[in-house]
Structure 1
Amino acid sequence: MAGEIPQAQPPPDVPAPGRHPHLLLWRWRRNPLRRRTDRMHAWAALWLLLAVLVAAPAAMFAVGDTAYSHYRSTAEHEARTRDHRPAVLVHDAPRHPEPGSDEAEKTRYPVKVRFTGPDGAARTGKADVEPGLPVDSTVLVWVDTDGKITEPPLTAEQIRSRTMGWAILAFLGVVLTGLAAHGVTGYVLQRRNLAGWDAAWTATAPRWSGFP
């Protein structure tokens, strides 16, 4: 349609970071195509990088220390309140399809057992036992103060593993937050650039097209 203003387009020669190593820092170098928003983006990226470099190790240490204290306290409580007691199988344990194999040595089946609780009363519950154990076999189970079969207290290795897991999650959380903030900053500045291009093109296009 005659007189219609063409759609605004971004400048074609603005280098795209990442296309070549020497273009990665183009926002920091003086050039006629560098805009104020480019400088803002560069500074925002720098401050976010510095913030992540400081905050990520700090968060990793703080969360790891808190997790270690929590799990160590939990392990100490479990050691005080859980007891290793003998229990007798009420029926035969299932046999493994491949007796003598490495898998059979690691496999455990839940079987009903009978044991004496902390109060001296006879109780029953399910315990994981080796395959093929016959009825009346004796196994050791962990029992809590309520007389229920439970897991053994946390080991030192489990405490270290869980502590490291929480520390790594904290580190990654800070890094991902920084990346998200960088992405949002870039999106906002890009929208600002597009609005500026539209405004400039609306004012310039009529003179280029020959229409008032």
Structure 2
Amino acid sequence: MAGTIPPAQPPPGPRLGPPPGTRPWHWRSNPLRRPTDRLQARLGLGLLLAVLAVAPVAGAVVADLAHRHYADAARHQTLTRHETSATLTEDVPRHPEPGSDEAKLARYPAEVRFTTPDGRTATTRAEVPPGLSAGTPVRIWVTADGEASEPPLTREEVRSRSMGCALLAAVGIALTGAAAHAVTRHAVRRRNLAAWERAWAETAPRWTTPG
């Protein structure tokens, strides 16, 4: 019947999937899309998923190995090094900015004299604060051979070095994935160019008009 108003229709349901035009062009249904384009997109996605899966595992494994290594090193250093009193045998140069934060952290090599556990007097060169005069007592760490050394690694240093190794491992995995993607992309691009040249060699003669 003319002029009859049609009954109301329910609103359309929610659209499944992303809106048109939001997907990368490699994944769209496009007559210009080549098989190599889809291959490149799949390889890129596969490499991304592989990096996301492998990087945390590699970081955890490297962190555990590094922690064991540095913990063993710290225990060995604790057994083979000891702190002792020593006396400077020469003046230590002054820092250019005395009293500054940099001066408080600066250390200069200087000759010191100390007594070994067996009662002998020995000399060695150790890192000491700046501005000290000869004869000033200082505390140094020495090895069983009487050589100056750094203090044994602390728990915080062991932990920070382990985490640093884990971070380097994760970054290395990510860089490896990026390099693999770049190589793959270059290979696909060269293949596309070669296919284009072959297609053009077949098509160009039909477009050429006699002179």
For the residue of structure 1 that corresponds to 2:113, the secondary structure is: strand
Residue 185 of structure 2 corresponds to which residue in structure 1?
A: 186
Hey, what's the Cα distance between the residues in 1 that align with 2:49 and 2:63? 22
Deviations 1:52-107 (Å, cap 9, x if unpaired)?
A: 01011111111111111111110111011101111111122223344333333222
Question: In the alignment, residue 150 of structure 2 is paired with which amino acid?
Answer: E
After superposition, where does 1:120-159 map in structure 2 within 5 Å? Answer: 120-159=119-158
After superposition, where does 1:84-95 map in structure 2 within 5 Å? Answer: 84-95=83-94
Residue 110 of structure 2 corresponds to which residue in structure 1?
A: 111
Hey, what's the Cα distance between the residues in 1 that align with 2:191 and 2:161? 45
Hey, what's the Cα distance between the residues in 1 that align with 2:39 and 2:103? 63
Maintained 8 Å contact 1:118/1:147: no
2:91 corresponds to 1:58: no
After superposition, where does 1:29-108 map in structure 2 within 5 Å? Answer: 29-108=28-107
Residue 14 of structure 2 corresponds to which residue in structure 1?
A: none
Hey, what's the Cα distance between the residues in 2 that align with 1:84 and 1:100? 26
Q: CA deviation at 1:25?
A: 1.1
Hey, what's the Cα distance between the residues in 2 that align with 1:51 and 1:172? 14
Question: In the alignment, residue 122 of structure 1 is paired with which amino acid?
Answer: T
Hey, what's the Cα distance between the residues in 2 that align with 1:99 and 1:26? 64
Question: In the alignment, residue 58 of structure 2 is paired with which amino acid?
Answer: A
Q: CA deviation at 1:119?
A: 4.0
Maintained 8 Å contact 1:88/1:114: yes
Maintained 8 Å contact 2:124/2:146: no
For the residue of structure 1 that corresponds to 2:138, the secondary structure is: strand
TM-score w.r.t. the length of structure 1 is: 0.84
Question: In the alignment, residue 209 of structure 2 is paired with which amino acid?
Answer: G
Residue 161 of structure 1 corresponds to which residue in structure 2?
A: 160
Give the CA RMSD over aligned residues. Answer: 1.6
Hey, what's the Cα distance between the residues in 1 that align with 2:100 and 2:179? 50
Hey, what's the Cα distance between the residues in 2 that align with 1:106 and 1:195? 62
Structure with the greater relative contact order (CA < 8 A, sep ≥ 6): 1 or 2?
Answer: 1
Hey, what's the Cα distance between the residues in 2 that align with 1:189 and 1:97? 60
Task: From the CA coordinates, give the structure whose radius of gyration is larger.
Answer: 2
Deviations 1:167-186 (Å, cap 9, x if unpaired)?
A: 11101100011011111111
Percent identical among aligned pairs is: 54
Residue 198 of structure 2 corresponds to which residue in structure 1?
A: 199
Hey, what's the Cα distance between the residues in 2 that align with 1:148 and 1:37? 64
Q: Note the residue ranges of structure 1 that are not aligned, 5 or more in a row.
A: 1-21
Which region of structure 1 is more displaced relative to structure 2, 84-93 or 28-37? Answer: 84-93
Hey, what's the Cα distance between the residues in 2 that align with 1:145 and 1:193? 67
| Structure 2 CA distance for partners of 1:102 and 1:42, relative to 1, 3 Å | closer
Aligned length: 190
Question: In the alignment, residue 156 of structure 2 is paired with which amino acid?
Answer: E
TM-score w.r.t. the length of structure 2 is: 0.84
Q: CA deviation at 1:133?
A: 2.1
Hey, what's the Cα distance between the residues in 2 that align with 1:108 and 1:159? 23
| Structure 2 CA distance for partners of 1:29 and 1:109, relative to 1, 3 Å | same
